[in-house]
Structure 1
Amino acid sequence: MLKNINRRPLLLGGAGLIASPAIVQAQNWPSGPIRLVVPFAPGGTTDLVARLVADQLAIRLNTPFVVENRAGATATTGSQLVADAAPDGQTLLMSNIASHAIGPSLYRGLRYDAVRSFTHIAMVITNPSVWVVNKNTPIQNLADIVRLARAQPGGMNMASSGAGSSNHLMIVQFARLMGIEYTHVPFRGAGPAMAAVIAGQVPMMSDSLPSAAAHIRADVVRPIAMSSAQRHPSFPNVPTFREQDVDLVSTTWFSLSGPAGMPPAITERLHRETMAIITAPAMRARFAELGGDPGDMTSEQFTQFVAAELERWRPIVQASGATVD
């Protein structure tokens, strides 16, 4: 005689067992090309790092990655797009200090929460900023910038990748420390800003080192100051701000995030694959060449880091007086 059998489905994978929807989703992932949204224009550090990582993730996950540039509103336009996307692991974001530490304090009408609206997957790279000038200017150091700014009504033009970016706020901090006026010239990304400096449309810009590195090595711009605490080993001839009697140290960061609510199995797989990519000797060497260091955080640590960065930058944004409705 047959005994009664409990026919409730088991929520575990295995032969003859019914898996939970989340497990089924993770097992079937990726289900097609993965979209990686870059919230800045092509040519900047965010775009550069995104494409390096996307190329390797495509190989490791055996699926195409489509890098999509959605510039605007200090990286918040593209970030909002990802926050609104389905949390299925098919849409990801190259998040960064602008989109998740600065933008939320700058844009009063922002709809996303930098921590709760996203699944924060992995820190990818951290790096200092560098100030570069057009080679035809007489500027050789920070003292020259101060002198020229004081000699011009309204100060001098200083470019960055966008209003409210970390490099814009470096300009704000520098001007406050030196007691000078300036005119900020924001661009929709570091690439267009660098092109304007090279063409002589603006005399200088504050840029993240990875996006400026190739231009410095090609000798098409002149680097005058690095925001690291010590001279960077890849650019030993570039003095720091502190060496030039300006107490300013700043680090920017670039990372991988997705919409809130992504299945843990997909998040863990993406974190594992990303860490394998950025810690591989070839990628470490490439990051060093660009002037950056690979990240070293769990997903949980990275989420806590974002929350801490949000609090750290809020008073700096408030002190700058910069707000956008």
Structure 2
Amino acid sequence: MSWAIRRRALFAASAMVPMTVQRAFAQAWPSQNIKLVVPFAPGGTTDIVARLVASGLQERLGVVVVVENRAGAGATIGSEAVARSAPDGYTMVMSNIASHAISPALYGHRVRYDPVRDFAHAALVVTNPSVWVANPNAGLRTLADVAAKARAPGGLDVATSGVGSSNHMMVVEMSRLLGVELNHIPFRGAGPAMQAVIAGQVPVMSDSLPSSVAHIRQGSVVPLGMASAQRHQAFPDIPTFREQGFDVASESWFGLSFPAGTPAVIVERMNRETRAVLADPDIRARFVELGGASGDLSVDGYTDFVRREVAAWAPLVRASGASVD
């Protein structure tokens, strides 16, 4: 019997445990540290969001929430590790658009988890738009400059946080709109990718806004365009892609998910505690500073959200022709 089948059997069995027993189990939870796996390298948006919400959860739960970075394979390595973990409420993953919506379609049979069935999705934490930035010495200031460089001999290198990220899909879509293949340079997280851009090793990066915010404000990178429906309230001087003639909009999302089979009362409590953290004015203000919008969904709401994202992205990934080496 495969691990996935065993986990679904355990999930079914846990559903038959009397609610009084589940409540008693939840009352003793948490009694030890909770591990939050970030399936990207340190320094990127997923990592930034995870550490912010972990700090708030620690105060409310009274235990340490340990952030562990396990990057690789479009965020699927860390996510698979959590899917295989004991469903005892002490291991979560920072579920996101890459690990749970794009990479399962992009990597196909190499992804050994189902993004819906193999997780107990607890809470949506934040959503945010994508932004393209460039090294100040690259001679790029607008998306028109990007188009001109991409069509010149040698083309244009564009860094992302990794294969399977929403920002990778942005590169694929821009290649389609430009009619020329952009040179996708994937890294093991937004942090390493950004450092390569700042160092001048790669001229441009397709990124999620939170991991670019500090660098934009410091002037270490130049913003080229925001992939939002309208200009962002925190960055009114950055034009959207659509304003510059490219009909592209992209929004990343990040949440908390346990392995399937985790007692429902624990999942529900994590949802309540997370929403309480996100309602804190300081946390909410911090997310606004980072260009994100705090989530506020129930357990069922977040589960349905993930299910819709999977259904929406799978055909788009296939239609894009994007593949992994």
Shift of 1:156: 1.0
Provide the rounded CA distance (Å) in 2 between the counterparts of 1:64 and 1:54. 8
Cα distance between partner residues in 1 of 2:83 and 2:106? 18
Aligned partners of 2:214, 2:319: CA distance in 1, in Å?
33
Structure 1 residues not aligned, in runs of 5+: 1-10, 13-18
- TM-score by structure 1 length? 0.92
CA apart distance, 1:320: 2.4
Q: How many residues align?
A: 307
Distance 1:266 1:35 in 2: 15
Residue 148, structure 1, aligned to residue 177, structure 2: no
- 1:179 CA drift (Å): 0.9
Identity of aligned residues (%): 60
Residue aligning to 1:305: 305
User: What is the correspondence of 1:83-232 to structure 2 with a 5 Å cutoff?
Assistant: 83-108=83-108, 109-153=110-154, 155-232=155-232
- 1:77-102, CA deviations, whole angstroms, 9 ceiling, x for partnerless residues? 00000000111110011110000000
What secondary structure sits across from 1:92 in the alignment? strand
User: 1:145-179: per-residue Cα shift (whole Å, max 9, x none)?
Assistant: 110111123x2111100012100100110110121
SS of residue paired to 1:210: helix
| Structure 2 unmatched runs, 5+ | 1-17
Q: Give the partner amino acid of 1:319.
A: A
Runs of 4 or more consecutive aligned structure 1 residues displaced over 3 Å after TM superposition: none
Task: Give how far 1:193 is off.
Answer: 0.2
Alpha-carbon distance in structure 2 between the residues aligned to 1:161 and 1:324 = 14
Deviation at 1:182, TM superposition (A): 1.5
Alpha-carbon distance in 2 for matches of 1:126, 1:314: 20
**Which residue in 1 is equivalent to 2:5?**
none
Q: CA deviation at 1:238?
A: 0.4
Q: Secondary structure at the match of 2:137?
A: coil
Q: Distance in 2 between matches of 1:263 and 1:222?
A: 47
The 5-angstrom pairing of residues 197-276 of structure 1 reads 197-276=197-276
1:181 CA displacement: 2.1
Aligned-partner Cα distance in 1 for 2:158–2:221: 15
Shift of 1:24: 2.9
Instruction: Give me the TM-score of the superposition, normalised by structure 2.
Output: 0.92
Task: For 1:252, give the aligned amino acid.
Answer: S
Shift of 1:31: 2.3
SS of corresponding position for 2:89: coil
1:232-284 alpha-carbon deviations (Å, 9 max, x no partner):
00001100000001000111101111100111111111100100111211111
2-structure distance, mates of 1:170, 1:38: 22
My pick for the range that moved more, 73-82 or 144-153, is: 144-153
Q: Does structure 1 conserve the Cα–Cα contact (< 8 Å) formed by 2:172 and 2:322?
A: no
Aligned-pair Cα RMSD in Å: 1.1
Structure with the higher helix share, 1 or 2 = 2
